[in-house]
Amino acid sequence: MLEDRRLEVLRAIVEDFVLSNEPVGSKALAERHNLGVSPATVRNDMSALEEEGYITQPHTSAGRIPTDKGYRLFVDRLSGVKPLSRAERRAIQSFLEGAVDLDDVVRRSVRLLAQLTRQVAVVQYPSLSSSSVRHIEVVTLGPRRMLMVMITDTGRVEQRIIDSLTPVDEEIAGELRATLNCALAGQRLADAPEVVATLPDQARPELRPCLATMTGAVLESLVERPEERLAMAGTANLTRASVDFADSLRSILEALEEQVVLMKLIGSARETGTVTVRIGRETDVDALRTTAVVATGYGRGPFALGGMGVVGPMRMDYPWTMAAVRAVAKYVGELLGAD
Amino acid sequence: MLEDRRLEVLRAIVEDFVLSNEPVGSKALAERHNLGVSPATVRNDMSALEEEGYITQPHTSAGRIPTDKGYRLFVDRLSGVKPLSRAERRAIQSFLEGAVDLDDVVRRSVRLLAQLTRQVAVVQYPSLSSSSVRHIEVVTLGPRRMLMVMITDTGRVEQRIIDSLTPVDEEIAGELRATLNCALAGQRLADAPEVVATLPDQARPELRPCLATMTGAVLESLVERPEERLAMAGTANLTRASVDFADSLRSILEALEEQVVLMKLIGSARETGTVTVRIGRETDVDALRTTAVVATGYGRGPFALGGMGVVGPMRMDYPWTMAAVRAVAKYVGELLGAD
DNA sequence: CCTGGCACTCGGCCGCAGTGAGTGCCAAGT
DNA sequence: ACTTGGCACTCACTGCGGCCGAGTGCCAGG
């Protein structure tokens, strides 16, 4: 009961602060959210909430603002789901369905997400290791040079130039192509390393060195490269959140260019199957300590293809943002799962 | 003589302002650049320069700062070339030569350029139309679905999913592959449309509809898509230039996300063969009126593969930036031309 | 446990004068 | 015809003091 009202007060503070970006005081609170109690009572609750570390005051005799911990509680226990409107869902769908290829899907998604949430959006390209091989192509480029192109069922194309120690011709290329396809087509990439390992031994002796370098290349492009590709959009939205500019904006932008860091942040949400939120220091990135990351995985079933999410100020409309991220992820997942 | 000194004064103003970002006054000028004349004389010159529109004062009784026109004159007539140091050249080379594929080259270039110039760097992916076809691959994905992959000699891979009206199988795919390769391999893409146009007529009748859709796809991926791809890095550097933040930073970031606009800006420098500079309103982009764009083409000979450049505040070290852009473009051009 | 009352705090917002870099103009010097 | 020193003037910037008011903490009474 008492506990309940305190939480209600916290919710009210978060909601008001998200809207106004100004410390919220007891009086305004009591008025705007008909809590049925007087400002004085609210003050007591606020005092308690501050004691417990959910809110803080920027300076004495100012209103309160939520802390990381406060937002966390809000997200975990207080925020309902804010379902998207019919129109919004349709907008997402129609925006995405014009896409012509994988690149286009990713780029559209990221722009869509940025526009929708008015924050910085990040979308990971479908991860190689959770898709499977559809076709491998080997082309000769020169007497000792080949190009391997691997096409996955998500439409991603991985290429690799290979310098062979021994001369190669069209015939050998054809043979390599056949061997590789036979072994790998349909395999999930995560399983490929084992499959590929035994290949050279089974092949004709004169093919072996060549096949060995080739399988080496395949393996190499399977190792999740530290910087798997990702797309980003909406950095301009950072200026909207008037986080104490001078300082942070700069370092936030820098952090966002660190693909490795971002990758970890977005990628980690990939397996969970739900929308995850990291608030402030929970991001484990110092430059992002004033921001929050809302991310999720996309793609069919248990094997998420990749992650996507948004980075914004802690002061964000979590219920709505989470709903938006989830919705976009769902559509993108369907889109990529289907074809 | 008199004219000469005035120009010298302009140069001094530009140089000082670039360093200090503060309006420069007559006294400081006369001292720091031993011009051999008194501040009063400098004032007269400044007055004249202002009259002609090369400099302006932010407010009465402040020093002068260069105008767009002033920078323009500086770039055109006053700035020598500031050659890069040996170490810098080596750094560029070693930074780039580790690249493993096209994507990597582009990404490395753009980061390099951003770090080097400490500004926002933009690199266009090699344009399709100025490269030539190395190989075309056709893969069946389903009973009526194929994937066409086109590999160019710059290492770029273009893919396209094609829905056929008639059923297709491996055999047909093979035939299509052979036909297309035979006709197109080695052709410059710019020439491809004509070559491709007559193909369906020459083919076996039952292949025709299929081949027609296929060539349609080829043509479609040739049309320079409005948003050819480009890579960007160093947006954090925008915060360095303390352009009157609140306003412009935002709109600059927005403009930079407009691929089409950027493309035009960077791409237009592609054919000129030299480093071009667009200052302020010369960019024809309102949001970039406080910035300058230094760009050039890269790639062998008369057919530039693409453009690259940097976007920074008008207040930039033009000689150095131009040298850096040129140097990086040269190395990248060699790198892509060679393989 | 809630409530109204009350004193207190402190950031933000004037208005104000002082400072100094920088200008324009002018009359005198070369 | 230029250059120069002198001089008055402008005006952004800074620091100071005072006021205001939103917001707090505390307390005594319901």
Distance from CA of residue A39 to its chain's centroid? Answer: 42
Is the C-beta atom of B229 closer than 7 angstroms to strand D?
no
A43 touches strand D (CB under 7 A): yes
- Chain B residues close to A249, C-beta within 8 Å: 239, 249
pLDDT at B113: 97
User: Which residues from 16-45 of B have any strand D atom under 7 Å from their CB?
Assistant: 36-38, 40-41, 44
pLDDT at B226: 47
Tell which wins on pLDDT, A236 or B187: A236
Q: What mean pLDDT comes out for the span B132-140?
A: 80
Q: How many CB pairs under 8 A join A and B?
A: 85
Interface contact A103-B229, CB threshold 8 A: yes
Q: Using the CA of A1, which nucleotide's C1' is the nearest one?
A: C1
For chain A, the residues whose C-beta falls within 8 A of a C-beta of chain B are 100-103, 134-135, 137, 139, 141, 147, 149, 151, 155, 157, 159-161, 229, 233-236, 238-240, 245-246, 249-251, 253-254, 257, 339
pLDDT at B1: 55
Average pLDDT in chain B: 86
Most confident of A169-183, B117-131, B203-217, B283-297: B283-297
Contact yes or no for B84/B327 (Cβ under 8 A): yes
What pLDDT is attached to residue A116? 96
Task: Tell me the residue type at A48.
Answer: A
Q: How far apart are CA B321 and CA B12, in angstroms?
A: 18
Maximum CA pair distance of chain A?
88
Q: Which residues pair with A24 in a beta bridge?
A: A64
Chain B residues bordering chain A (beta-carbon distance below 8 Å):
100-103, 134-135, 137, 139, 141, 147, 149, 151, 155, 157, 159-161, 229, 233-236, 238-240, 245-246, 249-251, 253-254, 257, 339
Q: Is the CB of A7 under 7 A from strand D?
A: no
Contacts of B339 in chain A (CB under 8 A): 161
Cα of A148 to nearest chain B Cα, Å = 11
CA distance B17 to B236: 22
The CA-atom distances, in angstroms, between A65 and each of A24, A26, A39, B2, B31 are 7, 12, 17, 64, 53
Q: What is the dihedral of CA A210, A212, A214, A217, to 10 degrees?
A: -140
State the Cα–Cα distance between residues A5 and A38, nearest whole angstrom: 12
Ranges in chain A, pLDDT < 50: 226, 339
What does pTM read for this prediction? 0.84
State which H helix or E strand residue B192 sits in. Answer: helix B192-197
Residues B221-256 pLDDT 10s? 666 554 578 899 999 999 887 656 666 888 999 999
| pLDDT value of residue A222 | 66
Answer whether any strand D atom is within 7 A of the Cβ of A56. no
Q: Which residue has the tokens 């590929």?
A: A196
Radius of gyration of chain B (CA): 26
Q: Do A253 and B236 touch (CB under 8 A)?
A: yes
Q: What is the model's pLDDT at position B34?
A: 84
Could you tell me which residue, B24 or B242, shows the higher pLDDT? B24
Residue B182 has a pLDDT of 85
**Per-residue pLDDT band at B188 (split at 50, 70, 90):** confident
Q: Which residues face B151 on adjacent strands?
A: B135, B157
Q: Which residues contact B73 (CB under 8 A, 6 or more apart)?
A: B7, B10, B54
> At residue B132, does pLDDT exceed 70?
yes
Share of chain B above pLDDT 90, in %: 48
Q: Are A305 and A333 in contact (CB under 8 A)?
A: yes
Residue B150's identity, in one-letter code, is M
Question: Comparing B295 with B129, which gets the higher pLDDT?
Answer: B295
Q: Tell me what the mean pLDDT of segment B70-83 comes to.
A: 90
Residue that wins the pLDDT comparison between A234 and B145? A234
d(CA B263, CA A158): 25
pLDDT tens for each residue of A63-100: 999 999 999 999 999 887 788 999 999 999 999 988 87
CB contact under 8 Å between B234 and A240, yes or no, is no
pLDDT per residue over A225-262, tens digit each? 545 788 999 999 998 876 566 668 889 999 999 988 99
Q: What is the pLDDT of residue B301?
A: 66
Does residue B67 carry a pLDDT above 80? yes
Q: What is the enclosing helix (H) or strand (E) of B140?
A: strand B133-142
